[in-house]
Structures are given as C-alpha cells and as structure tokens.
Amino acid sequence: MTWLTHTTFAGLTAWIFDLKVGVAVLGSTAPDWTEDLFGLGEHRGVTHYLVLWFGLVILFLLFALEGFKVAIYPLSFCYGGLSHIFLDMLTKTGIPLVGKKRIRIGGLITTGKISEWIFLVLVVIFLFPLTRLDFKFGYSKWKNYYEQEIIDKKEYEERRFKLW
C-alpha cells in the first residue's frame, strides 16, 4: 500500500478509537521508514512482523488502562504501525510470518494499482462519515455534553447526527 492509503486508514480509524490521530498517522508509515532508519535492506522484513506491532499495542494499552495518560501517545503510534501491517496483509505480497512464509488476507490488492485506489475510496466512503457523525466506540461528545448538562436534550438531538 502507498503512504496515502496507510495514513488515511490510520487517521480515520484512530479518530474512531479516540486515539491521537497525528501520532497514529506518523506510526502508520513507521514500518517503512524504520527500515531506512536502521539500515535494513529488505522491504517488508523485520519491521513488518505482526507480533512486534501487536505486542507493542497490547503493552501500551495495558499502561493506558492502568491510568498512565501519557501512554496514549506510544499506543497511538503503535496502533498506526499495526494498521500498516494489517493493510499490507491485504496485498498480494503480504507480510512475513516465519522465514519465507507470509501472511496474506485475500491478496487482491496491488500497491499503487487500481485495486488499491478502489480500496482507498471505499475506506473513505465508509469511515469518513463516522468521523463526521461523532461516532466513537461508546463515546459521543454531544452525549457527553448532554450528560454533563452542558447542553439540553433538544440541542443534543439536533446535533448528534449532523455531518458539519
């Protein structure tokens, strides 16, 4: 996948999961630029291991759940990296598992080709409206305002499903 697909997907889903969007977007490209940073020659090598990014997400999620508020930043970054790995699993090349074995889900997408652009358009069509409708898993700022009695029921009902 190209950086545009990685960053768009990570940004939209990070918003829905109430993570730090900018940090997640940076993390969504990390598996690729860390290859250059550490001088690794193989693309989709060590930096593309699912267990690495999944483990980091779990680790920082545990810290965040324990009340370490600053953990939201590395959690968001690692979530972006994990979203990168997930999207690369959808491509024909897949990601490394062990040795020469690779993980592929479907394998219908080719990086930079029409299949990726169709996928990107579908991601935006399905996820962007959720960001505009204030949809977050179990959270809505308008519902929160209503419960805190900052706005009344009428204003809550008027605003909760508006796109703009």
pLDDT of res. 129: 84
User: pTM of the entire structure?
Assistant: 0.79
pLDDT of res. 115: 94
pLDDT of res. 162: 59
pLDDT of res. 140: 62
Q: Confidence band (pLDDT; 50, 70, 90) for 110?
A: very high
139 has a pLDDT exceeding 90 = no
pLDDT of res. 82: 97
136 has a pLDDT exceeding 70 = no
1 has a pLDDT exceeding 70 = yes
> At residue 118, what are phi and psi to the nearest 5 degrees?
-65, -45
Radius of gyration of the chain (CA): 18
Averaged pLDDT, 130-134 = 74
Are 61 and 75 in contact, with CB atoms under 8 Å apart? yes
What does the mean pLDDT of the chain come to? 87
